Structures are given as structure tokens and as C-alpha cells.
Homo-oligomer: A and B are copies of this chain.
Amino acid sequence: MPDAAPDPIADFDLNAFLPYRLNAAAARVSRAFAERYRREFGISIAEWRVLAHLHAAGTVSVRDIEARAAMEKSKVSRAASRLEAAGYVSKAVNDADRRLVQLSLTREGRALVARLLPVAIRFQAELRESLGPRAEALDAALAVLLAPRREG
């Protein structure tokens, strides 16, 4: 009898499918990270992203975070409202353009970020450690996937 011809349709395996694997890996990492943040600091990943961006950028608008952190503006708005209610973020109207909301960290917000960031950096370091030399390869692959879309 002839050798069995490989049939990519009959042999299709979801667990070898790249989009599925990518999603499953991201979900697992996110879950572990979110769990740590929720337990230790009581904040969500969306809130963490807003805090991290405010830490880096100072006083910015919702639109700024939407653009730079790739979050829906409604998501940013809601995360910012929760952070404001918790006392970590203040909202103010921009005098030069009264449509804009100026988000900035409060004193408590800065103190929280000072505690958050070492945990995040350590989390990333653990991840890179478990990846070993594959970490750089992963960075390169993600850079391709995250590159701006071709317009064709």
C-alpha cells in the first residue's frame, strides 16, 4: 500500500493552530498577571494600563491613552472613573480645550504605582527567565505581528 498522504484538512489539530496557541498563551499570561494584581492591589489590567501610562506620560487625556495604549476610549474612560473613585487618579478639565479631560496621578496614585511597577517588572523578568533565549525571538515575532497594518 502507498504511504498515507498527509491531508492538512483531515489532520487539522486545533492545538497546533497558531492563532489558537497565541491566544491561549496570552490568556494564560494575562490571567496570572491579573490575578496577582487583583490580589495585591485590587486593580484590573485595564486600570493597570492606565496607571502605567500616566506614570510614563504625566498628565494626559483619555484620547491620548486610547491612542498609545491601544484601548477603546470607553474602556479608558471607565477605568479612569474607577481609579478616580479609588482616589488614585484626578480628573480636571483642560482650560485650553474644554473637551479634554486631564488625567493625572494623585499622591496616592503615585504611591500605588511605585508599588506596582516593581511587581510588573519582576513578573516580566520571571517570564523572560522561563523563556531563556527564546524571549528575544518572541519579542521579534511579536514586533512583526504588532507592526502597523499594511494598507493594500
Contacts and interface: CB of A to CB of B under 8 A. Distances in A.
Chain copies in the assembled complex: 2
A3 interface: no
Nearest to A123: B19
Given A30-B23, A141-B137, A12 B131 contact: no
Interface residues of A, number: 52
Interface in A9-40: 9, 12-15, 17-30, 33
A91 to B, nearest CB: 20
Contact of A28 (B13, B130, B146): B146
B24 A146 contact: yes
B139 A138 contact: no
A98 interface: no
Contact of A52 (B12, B70, B131, B142): B12
